[in-house]
Amino acid sequence: MFRAFAFLFKAYRTWVAGVAGYLIGSWMVRHSARRASASGNGAGPDGVGRPLSAAFVAGEVVKGAAGARAGHIIGGDAGGYAAAIGVVAGQCFPAFADFRGGKSIGTAAGTALVCFPAGLPVVGGLAALAWAKLRRPDTVVAVAGGAFALASALWWLAGLPAGRGRKASGGLAVYALVSSALVAWQWLAQERGNTGGVEG
């Protein structure tokens, strides 16, 4: 009886963390979309100058990290992964902006700083190599996302530390796969002109 209650309570905390992460992602996009609209450029920060664009991206990284960290506080490792997925989903499909969000690359990077810092040198190195060789943003996104998902699975199977005193788990692999898929989907959709979202 006690074990069943503990399981249900953990599942509830994980769900709350995921919802919290989604709301954090959605809320920030709402305000960035308003700023882009007020500037007369609905496409996001590209038309408001490089300093503001850099600040926008930095804000998305901070948002991703904050969302994942909040989820970890709420529900432990499982809550952190759920919130990380939620904040990326919120950035991609914000409820407060007609579900038209950004590409979520900065947000996903922020979640990785909390959930999987040990894999970032590998992913960053491969992404940099892809950019140096091909100079194609879509290829870099594909390489980074694939490397992130694959690295998380290998870390889990090998029992390696994910960083910040945590051991890699199946939850890490699921988070990396889902978040990478969300970023790839949103990137392709916006590059093909299927959405009217903001950058980020």
pLDDT tens for each residue of 89-105:
999 999 888 888 888 88
The answer to whether residue 199 is domain-embedded is no
Rg (CA), the chain: 17
pTM of the model: 0.83
Q: Span 124-141, mean pLDDT?
A: 87
Q: What would the pLDDT profile of 19-64 be if each residue is shown by its tens digit? A: 999 999 988 655 555 555 554 444 444 444 455 577 788 889 999 9
The answer to whether residue 197 is domain-embedded is no
pLDDT band at 196 (very low <50, low <70, confident <90, very high): very low
Q: Which domain holds residue 20?
A: 2-191
The answer to whether residue 200 is domain-embedded is no
The answer to whether residue 34 is domain-embedded is yes
Q: Span 170-185, mean pLDDT?
A: 94
Q: Span 12-24, mean pLDDT?
A: 95
- Count of domains observed in the chain: 1
Q: What is the pLDDT of residue 97?
A: 82
Q: Span 152-171, mean pLDDT?
A: 90
The answer to whether residue 151 is domain-embedded is yes
The answer to whether residue 79 is domain-embedded is yes
The answer to whether residue 78 is domain-embedded is yes
The answer to whether residue 30 is domain-embedded is yes
Tell me how far apart the alpha carbons of residues 160 and 187 are, in angstroms, rounded to a whole number.
30
Contacts with 81 (C-beta within 8 Å, 6 or more apart), sequence order: 71, 115, 171, 172, 174, 175
pLDDT band at 71 (very low <50, low <70, confident <90, very high): very high
Distance of CA 23 to CAs 11, 26, 98, 145, Å?
A: 19, 5, 14, 23
Strands (E), 43-194: 161-163, 166-167
